Every structure is written in C-alpha cells, then in structure tokens.
Amino acid sequence: MFVFLLWMSMKSASALSVARIVNATYSAGIAFLNTNSTAPTSCMCSCIAHPHCLSISVTTKSVTLYQCQLFATYPMKSSQLSPSSTTYVMVYTNRTMKSVYLNNGTQLSNPARLFSNTVFPWIPIFKLFSGNNQSFLGLNSSNLTTLTAIPTIPFYQIMPHWFNILLAQWNQNLYVPSQLAIAFITNRTTIIDFLIFNTVQSNTTNWFSSSRFISNQYWSLPQYINTTIAQSQMIPVYMDSDCIRSLNCNFKYSSSGCTQDFYGYFFIHGGYKDSCIAAVRNVSQVPIPSIFYSITKDYTNGNINNYNISNGLIGFVH
C-alpha cells in the first residue's frame, strides 16, 4: 500500500501542469507556507495539497536542500530575477486558469495567456451564495479562511460561502490588495460587471466605502458618490448593531419607515431583524441570505420589487 501511495504521489507531481516563470517576482503578499525539502517536486506536491495555492517559488540552497514557498497570489514579470538565479517561480496553471480572471472592460474572461503581459489578473477572495442558510460574518472575523477548492465562476449549485486565505493575511496586514472588485452572478452563469474599490491602506472592514469607489460598469453611481453621507447608507458587513443588512449601498437614509430604505443599488438580507423585507415579501419564500441588486442602471425607486436576487456575489482582488 505504501509503495502504491508513493507511486501515486510521484505520478501526481509529474502530471502537475505548471509554467516555469523564471523572470518573475511576486507582486503582493507573502507566502502562507514556507518549508525546506530535499527535492523541488515536494514543493509541487504541497501546492497540489493546498487548495488555495496558485504559485510557488523554489530556491536552491544546496544540492540536496530547497526552500519552498507557497503563494495564494500570482507572480508578475520583473527584471529582479534573472535566468541564472537560484530562485525560480512556478505557476499551478490548472488551478490558476480556472480561478483567476481578467476584466476586459465589459465582462470577465478567462485569460488564454495569463503571463503574456503585466496586466494584473483578478484573484477571487470571497464568494457568497444566496440561499445556503449560512452567515457570512467570516468577511470581517478573525477566522477568515475555508480551505476548500476555489469555486469556479459560474454558480451551478448552491454552495457554502468561500473565503480565500488571502483574507486572513489581509486581516493581519500581511497582505493588502490595491483594489477589490465585486461582481454579481445572475442565472448562475451571467456576471454583472465589476464595481471596483480602492483598497490601498484599508482593512477587511473599511474597504466598503463610497470614498473608495473607483469605477463601475453597471450602475450610474456619480450622484451617489457626490451625495453627503447623511443622505445615504453604505453599511459594510454587519456593522450596524441590529445586524439587519450587509454591504448595503443605499441612496437614501431611512429614518421613517421602509419606503425610503429601498432607494438603492444592492444589499444583502441576512435573515435577521429586517422587518422591512418581511413586510413586503413572504419571508418564507426569500432565501437566506438573499443578495438583492437593482435591475436598472440607476437606483431603485423605493420598491423592493425593483430588485432581483442574484445567485451569488464574488469579491476579487489584485
């Protein structure tokens, strides 16, 4: 049995689809695993075993000693490493091509040649699903990772919420992305275009702010960005004491009932003390959580029926 398992391990390592990017360095973040091994193939096996590993670096210390680092990020081309360097970078292309995406201006697309230029691809950092009856407080908690395989973009079935190990590093200020983008999934396959935030010098809570808007390809948000904070709501993940809604992007602040509260763009109903939704819709027919988004190019006109429920919400970083 041991011989068979050893043979299977060697076969997996040899079958690993990797791209050796010698002239590369890592653009952000730190390794989440740093080990020494007697063979470079051990590093590949470690990457296979960890579901968030996208790339590795191998440094030759001696003839029989190699330093192995595992990353949940991608490398970028650079002149900092030369072909004669004792360190080389390898990319787990099978996993990278299925989980890392480029924004081509209108839609997300799977890159055919990920390292053909220096354009930063987007790496998924969280995925929230409607209707799985799970809380998503992991977005701003101290335990931020689910060590399961990176789900593919289309939502073919309801799954548990997923959080990348990069969230844990971000929470510890070991990794801070330059931008975070969110995209909504509809009809399980269609991706509504990015809403992008500036995340420089941010943390896992305060990135969701109107002051950090960079661009959006779906809603017309300039009027929202220019309004005073007292006239709008932008609530991050369960920052309000009543735990009513999360990632709430509302155009009017509600101080007198529910009608004003539904002038907005999107919000997540977590199934807590939200009497507004209970008053308008049969709660038993609303999946928990529900990711509501405006189906128009502008904010809704105060009617929750002008929202649709998306299958899921994906956050990307680069």
Instruction: Please report the pLDDT score of residue 68 as a whole number.
Output: 92
The mean of the pLDDT values for the chain is 76
Question: Quick one: pLDDT at residue 10?
Answer: 33
Q: Which residue has the tokens 């073919």?
A: 156
Instruction: Quickly state the pLDDT bin for 36 (edges 50, 70, 90).
Output: very high
Confidence (pTM)? 0.84
Per-residue pLDDT tens digits for 271-318:
766 777 777 776 667 888 889 898 888 888 877 888 889 999 989 898
Model pLDDT for residues 109-145, shown as the tens digit of each residue: 655 555 554 456 788 888 889 988 887 776 766 666 7
Three-state DSSP class for residue 202: coil
**How large is the average pLDDT for residues 195-214?**
88
Assign 84 a pLDDT band (cuts: 50, 70, 90).
low
Q: Where are the alpha helices (DSSP H) in 125-179?
A: 165-171
Per-residue confidence (pLDDT) for residue 56, from 0 to 100: 87
The residue among 10 and 88 whose pLDDT is bigger is 88
Res. 200 pLDDT band, cuts 50 70 90: very high
Residues of the chain with pLDDT > 90: what percent?
Answer: 9
User: Is 242 a residue whose pLDDT tops 70?
Assistant: no
* DSSP state letter for 99: H
- pLDDT tier for residue 269 given thresholds of 50, 70 and 90: confident
pLDDT of residue 9: 36
Q: Average pLDDT, stretch 41-59? A: 89
Q: What is the pLDDT of residues 134-190, one digit of tens each?
A: 877 767 666 667 788 887 776 777 788 888 999 888 888 888 999 998 988 888 777
What does the pLDDT look like over 254-264, one tens digit per residue? 655 666 667 88
Token representation of residue 67:
């330093």
Residue carrying structure tokens 């928990």: 288
- From 75, 80, 78, 82, select the one nearest 57 (Cα to Cα): 75
268: left (phi over 0), alpha (psi -120 to 50) or beta: beta
Tokens of 119: 């354009």
Give whole-number Cα distances, 181 to 38, 43, 81, 192, in Å: 40, 31, 30, 11
Token pair recorded at residue 13: 């390592």
Task: Answer whether residue 240 shows pLDDT above 80.
Answer: no
Looking at residue 77, its pLDDT comes to: 65
Across the strands, what pairs with 37?
Answer: 66
Q: Would you place residue 5 in the very low, low, confident or very high pLDDT band (cuts 50, 70, 90)?
A: very low
Q: What is the pLDDT of residue 41?
A: 86
Domains of the chain are 2-99 (3.50.4), 103-113+116-317 (no CATH)
Contact 98, 152 (CB under 8 A): yes
Spatial contact of 199 and 179, defined as CB atoms under 8 Å apart: yes
Q: According to the model, what pLDDT value does residue 140 have?
A: 67
